[in-house]
Structure 1
Amino acid sequence: MTMDSSGSSWFQEDPAPSRQEQVVQRICARVAGSGVHVASLPLGGVQVWLDSPRHRWRFYHRMARELRLAGWHTETGPDRLLLLGWSAVCLSHRARMLRAALTGRLADFDRTAFTAVMIATRLRHEGFPAGDLPGEVEARCGDALRWPARLADLDGLERGSSLEPLRLRLAQVAGLEAKVARRCGEHLALASKVARTVAGGAAPARSHAGDPGDSGSSTAGLTERMVGVSVPNVALSAGTAR
């Protein structure tokens, strides 16, 4: 046990990281980049520390914010971050944020369509390969939505608790996450469709019932107008027609 060391685990590390350690590592690496170390604590929980002392305090607080948003209680020390289990307060906050996303940014398909058109048009003018355009636009729109990455961070983690109130909150969060995941999928499908339109140079057909944005937003009509002013009016060859 090495309590005075700021560059290693306080306890002997297990040879194989647990699923929780892997998830925490993924979240913290997304925030702080490389040089993130994670190890379990003997009575449960996880410790996190960084290789470099540069901006360490700022990164610890950013990592703690993302971990709290996932539902964990955290404590920030001078040389490392401690994750100490599920928190009813943090899980309630995650539920609020998920509901806010569903009624806020994820309800705005027009914004996603506009963002996709702008990104696709800029990349096309820069000579980005047309075949790779939909995937790149979808990835960048996913980054802008933020929730696809946050949900992916928790992939494979079995979340449970011996306490009934925490189990109920975890179940509530899981239900909201499923709704957010479906809505994100609709946004990314729209972004990919817009990118294919820009790559091909033709205006998209109006969406059918059940497509993203049908519920009163007239997304397809807006997308047609944006593509119409963004995409050069050129004849398509047989090889690029959609």
Structure 2
Amino acid sequence: MTEFSRYSRQVILPEVGVNGQALLRDSTVLLIGLGGLGTAAAQYLAGAGVGRLWLSDRDRVDVSNLQRQTLYRQADVGHAKVAAAAAQLRALNGEIEIGCFDAETWPAALPQADVVLDCTDNFPTRYAINAACVRARKPLISGAAIRLEGQIAVFDLRRGGPCYHCLYADTGAAAEACEQAGILGPVVGTIGCLQALAALKLLLGIGDDAGRLHHWDARRMRWYSHRIGIDPACAVCGVRRG
């Protein structure tokens, strides 16, 4: 299978072309969190030919994950998510490099990534990822989903925009969990796919999605969007501007 035949449906797009495909092949995406968001995003990034896809998650596959985390199979239950995901992604596209990192090693890898996807489900990790992206001046694509709602935002200080902490200050509040609130699989999968789309657009230089929060009401099939303001007193990015 030649590279062109594998990627022909996107290479034919004027927004991609041969040069854009080469950009994707030479890019590195760090994806943290391999739940409903991360497994959806990872499949499309691998399928698109992102050359290096780095994965991080500390959990093991649980049978309850299979309702929405479609990268896994029943035989993966009990196995480490990062290993199970890597095996499936290599089977999907053996032409790309899949790297695996744990909670202790992803911060050291982050400065070498071109784009970071936050697909996690708790505020402490989200704040840590954001702070690392601010220090390394790396674009961050954040997604979240619960019940019948989802949201996505792109943060990119290189364009002078806000950071995640500007939007959600650290109040010490706990994130609502799917175990208690529930989630429909296609809702979280849709947001994960949009994270992959935002990453591909950013790598290809298509448009500018940074600095806006997009909220999806899946029950009513409605999208709401608003610009995120920069907090001049932000404890994370405020001292790193200029």
Shorter-chain TM-score bucket reads under 0.3
Higher strand share: 2
Q: Which has the higher contact order (CA 8 A, sep 6+)?
A: 2
TM-score by length of 1: 0.24
Which structure: greater helix fraction?
Answer: 1
TM-score by length of 2: 0.24
